[in-house]
Amino acid sequence: MEARDKDPAHTSLLKANQDHFDEQATKWDDDPEYVRVSRESYATIMRHVGQFLLPSSDHHHHHTDILNFGCGTGLLEAQLRFNVNSITGIDISSGMIDRMNAKILEEGWKNVIALQMDILNDEAQISSSHQLQIQGFDMIISCYTFHHLHDVTAIGKALLKYLKPGGYLCIIDFAAAAETNNVRQHHHHHHHHHHHQHEEQDQQQHESLGDKLSEAAKASIGSHDGFSKRFLIDYYQNVLELENVKVEDATPLSCDGREFPTVIAYGRRKK
């Protein structure tokens, strides 16, 4: 694995995201916007995939181990930890992970772990970490992280290594502003995912939300401006080869008097 060449586009986008979110970390939890997004994410998870978190035969013991990719400061973990056996949060921002680790200690979150890592290039750290055991997770969740990624195919495949057979991958993110105008070039030879072409109007519609929700440095931070349902179905079924795939509307995020469509995608790794 060591021989894997670092993708320069992945590395530069990662660095921009790291710097941005490190700088935001200390004030992140004070922004009611982010707190509200985390509450809505939690509600969406419970509404759409909550039935997979608990074995129906046993309502007293939680058995589900979850990986949250792009966990930030742990706003989601604060809520979801009561519904699961354990949550491991990973994020590329050390500032975010430091905040989350402080909460874990201060608030006594016994079943939550936070790790700072780049899942594409920290393979050795991941496999040597006892928290990310080889048997993997029952569910991997990612909320509003995928639109920051350069290569969603590489990340998706890296995540699947830690998903148990029969486990679910669940992604919540912005929906494409206009499905019909969304010209994402997507090739499914399973290895190549050519960078998407954006329609200008999609870009403009999401820019104000990008500014508001993450105050991101526009294009250098946000790599995508939302995902169409058609793209997500193709990604889940043909690229990641998951089954029982569902792509559904999630609660729109309202911001400055405007509503932005969101989507939840989930599918099961074949047993």
Q: Assess whether pLDDT exceeds 80 at residue 143.
A: yes
Q: How far apart are CA 213 and CA 215, in angstroms?
A: 6
Give the mean pLDDT of 29-54: 89
Identify the pLDDT of residue 125. Answer: 57
Quick one: pLDDT band at residue 269, thresholds 50, 70, 90? Answer: very high
- pLDDT tens-place string over residues 55-70: 544 555 568 999 999 9
**What confidence score (pLDDT) does residue 220 get?**
31
Within 10 Å of residue 164's Cβ, how many Cβ atoms? Answer: 15
| pLDDT tens for each residue of 71-127 | 999 999 999 999 999 999 999 888 999 999 999 999 999 999 999 988 888 765 555
The answer, yes or no, to whether residue 215 has pLDDT greater than 90, is no
Chain centroid to CA 125: how far?
Answer: 20
pLDDT confidence bin for 17, thresholds 50/70/90:
confident
User: Which residue, 74, 117, 81, is CA-closest to 96?
Assistant: 74
Q: Using one digit for the tens of pLDDT, what is the confidence trace for 163-202?
A: 999 999 999 999 987 643 333 333 222 333 333 333 333 4
Tokens of 30: 């004070």
pTM: predicted TM-score of the whole model, two decimal places:
0.76
